[in-house]
Structure 1
Amino acid sequence: MSATRNSQPQPAERVGAAPKGPPQKGDEGPGFQQLFHAWLESHRASLVDSLRRLARQPIGSFFTCLVMAIALSLPMGLSLLLNNVERLAGSWQRAAQISLYLHMETGETEGQRLRDEIAGMLDVAEAEWINRERALAEFQQDSGLGQALKELPDNPLPGVILVTPAEIDRAKLEALRTRLAELPGVQQAQLDLVWVERLGAILKLGERFIFGLTLLLVLALLLVIGNTIRLHIENRRNEIEVIKLVGGTDGYVRRPFLYMGALYGVGAGLLSWLVLAYGLHWLNDAVTRLAGLYGSDFALTGVPVGDGFSLLLGAVLLGYIGAWLAVARHLSELAPR
């Protein structure tokens, strides 16, 4: 009777239950490394799938990238041409130089000292001293009155200090001119404010035109990439519905199209860079020939590397944003029927 009682299971134990012990390692969820590897594998598969789908339609993909490249090239090309024109003019600051005419008795030493004092001011970018002899030589060369000026008994021109301001602003330039006119040794301070105002108006007009054109072309690019991605979505509608039917998330469905938009941006950015480089090189031949007729060695500069990478990054962002907007708009319509 005692043996029978001992052979029966205890009340605290369940017949057939596994023995109690510490949890096994296999019972834990996937670790961070596994999750990260799965995330990378999912992105790699989406990128490869997007590349394959674009490669299946090489002509259509190329022309989409070409349309985007042309739209990107217009504002960047105008900006580069504006920079080259600015370099041709010397600089916009030099166009607003203040001419300080010194007293006739001012010598070389005093003129150099005054130039150094002016160059150290905060509102001054550069100061150049021109003595009386150099001023007379330059006037003889530029005016064509060399023989007539040689008949004069004395040099009628005073020493001049050309002051280049650090910033083009009417109020600041007027304040700087007044301060320079009060310096000892300065007989007259001259500034062409009308030219400065015209120059500022031209600059603002050019900047606003380029900014407005950039906005319009950015909107056009978003429409182009959005319409292209929409066509890809329609071609894969049945596939997407099946993916969502078996539990695919919106992020999983969206990812290949985002990569596709970014790839369109990469192709458009590279094509735009090439178009700008070739266009400036082609235009540079005519520019150098024209500049040579005027005795100048001016030549157009190419696309700076920094601007080229900025163009490429901007194209990728536009492609990504356009694809995201297109997918976000149509994702709610892709529910399984």
Structure 2
Amino acid sequence: MSETQRNTKAAERVGAVKAKADKPISDGPDFTTLLHAWLESHRASLVDSLRRLARQPIGSFFTCLVMAIALSLPMGLSLLLDNVERLGGSWQRAAQISLYLKLDASESVGPSLRDEIAGMPDVSEAEFISRAEALSEFEQQSGIGEALRDLPENPLPGVIVVTPKEVDKAALEALRQRLSELSGVQQAQLDMQWVERLTAILKLGQHFVFGLSLLLILALLLVVGNTIRLHIENRRSEIEVIKLVGGTDGYVRRPFLYMGAIYGVGAGVLAWAVLAFGLDWLNDAVVRLAGLYGSDFALGGVPVEQGCYLLLGAVFLGYIGAWLAVARHLSELAPR
């Protein structure tokens, strides 16, 4: 090979090296690689948590069962209150306003007033009872129908029964006052004492369910926290080694957070099942009791929407309980 050819080959080799050197040097892995590594780390943590819980099926089941009972009690009471409300009829009907029309009012006044009142925004329903209907109903309920037939004329006025949309003392009194000023109305009557009692009963039930929910949520967090703490103690040596070789707090915390969420899923499913079974079990006795009164009332099941909220709430509480437990003990897990 001649000197010229050797110089050309050397120049090409130098040029090739220079071309490679001109390419930008990567600063690190790209976003796709980082995302794949992040997903793989979470998948490994989830699989590890499931595997560890599967090794203790009885203990895991009873932990979920205790959480399920704590979740199902307040929701069960809330569902029972809703069903009792349906059993007694609408609460608004207990606060009906009775409008007694003037005796000399024409027969067309009642229907026109009923239509006018039914169109009001704070009125749910308006029903007109004519004088003849009122007399017939009174005869059936009083047992003195023979004496009433001897009267020269019907002494009972026409009545419009107004059902409000909301049970509120101030709003009902304002509505009663407004209705009493309508033309053709002799008197507007409302049993305010019953409305006050009804409102107090409703508020008492709501406060009781709210307070019970707070107590049981606190108990649920304690159960999850104590369970996660036991898992942490069982893996103390392993965690100390992980932190010794550079494992971050997030890496150490991740499996326990998944474990708390898994406990929440199990508790939510069990709570849903307990509520469905409990309502179905009570429904047999309720149907028999309602049948004695000539009613076809039956308890409703767990609505799908509320069941989903229950499941999501259980997962959230399990996650929070695990996070609190790990955060408390993470500082104690430094390598010795």
TM-score, normalized by length of structure 1?
A: 0.91
Residues 1:285 and 2:284 aligned together: yes
Deviation at 1:151, TM superposition (A): 4.4
3-state SS of paired residue (2:18): coil
Alpha-carbon spacing, 1:198–1:319, altered in 2? closer, same or farther (3 Å):
same
Structure 1 residue aligned with 2:202: 203
The CA deviation string for residues 197-246 of structure 1, in whole angstroms up to 9 with x for no partner, is 11111111111111100000000000000000000000011111111111
Structure 1 residue aligned with 2:261: 262
Structure 2 residue aligned with 1:13: none
Structure 2 residue aligned with 1:276: 275
The CA deviation string for residues 69-118 of structure 1, in whole angstroms up to 9 with x for no partner, is 11111101100010011111211111111100111233443211111111
3-state SS of paired residue (2:108): helix
Alpha-carbon spacing, 1:23–1:293, altered in 2? closer, same or farther (3 Å):
farther
Residues 1:231 and 2:219 aligned together: no
Range 313-322 or range 148-157, more displaced = 148-157
3-state SS of paired residue (1:27): coil
Range 103-112 or range 206-215, more displaced = 103-112
CA distance in 1, matches of 2:21, 2:154: 106
Deviation at 1:122, TM superposition (A): 2.3
How many residue pairs match? The answer is 324
Structure 2 residue aligned with 1:298: 297
Structure 1 residue aligned with 2:193: 194
3-state SS of paired residue (1:157): coil
For the aligned residues, what is the CA RMSD?
A: 2.1
Alpha-carbon spacing, 1:28–1:246, altered in 2? closer, same or farther (3 Å):
same
Structure 2 residue aligned with 1:132: 131
CA distance in 1, matches of 2:119, 2:197: 28
Matches within 5 A, 1:89-168: 89-168=88-167
Alpha-carbon spacing, 1:145–1:235, altered in 2? closer, same or farther (3 Å):
farther
The aligned amino acid for 1:196 is V
CA distance in 2, matches of 1:81, 1:126: 26
Deviation at 1:154, TM superposition (A): 3.2
CA distance in 1, matches of 2:308, 2:200: 31
CA distance in 1, matches of 2:251, 2:136: 76
Deviation at 1:128, TM superposition (A): 1.5
Structure 2 residue aligned with 1:249: 248
Q: Which stretches in structure 1 are left out of the alignment for 5+ residues?
A: 1-6, 8-17
The aligned amino acid for 1:40 is L
Structure 1 residue aligned with 2:330: 331
Structure 1 residue aligned with 2:211: 212
The CA deviation string for residues 141-165 of structure 1, in whole angstroms up to 9 with x for no partner, is 3344445444444332221111112
CA distance in 2, matches of 1:161, 1:95: 15
TM-score, normalized by length of structure 2?
A: 0.91
The CA deviation string for residues 15-63 of structure 1, in whole angstroms up to 9 with x for no partner, is xxx6365554773421111111111111111111111111000000000
